[in-house]
Structure 1
Amino acid sequence: QAVWGRRSIRVGSVSAVLAVGGIGIVDDAVWVVTMLLWGLFTYFVLAIAIVMTGNNPLVRLGV
């Protein structure tokens, strides 16, 4: 089973992103929030590309 397929990994990853985002907002760390939003944006761009083309462009990179 792939690492991302494990429930504990998914829950831990989402929890870490939410915790870091919350700390960034509370501490006015704009750069932290900006990086999280940039990561979310690139994730959605990749998801849209996969849905529209039916192919994952990162497969060619061996990722």
Structure 2
Amino acid sequence: MAKEIQILVGNKSKYTDWTNRQYVKDELHADVAKLLKKNGYPPKSIDVVYNEIMKPVENYKQYAE
């Protein structure tokens, strides 16, 4: 599942300044939510897990550029 999340994030983060584009973040959230649900995560924790995934991703992308 981590590899699938990595692919999802990689596809969305190719957009310039993607962390400031709300529609890209919304699409990524929906994609991650679908993936988590497919793998049995309960709906209440999807937002929590998504936030835990995105914090390091956004930090990495911000400082890697």
Calculate the TM-score normalised by the size of structure 2.
0.40
Higher relative contact order (CA 8 A, sep 6+): 2
Larger radius of gyration: 1
Calculate the TM-score normalised by the size of structure 1.
0.41
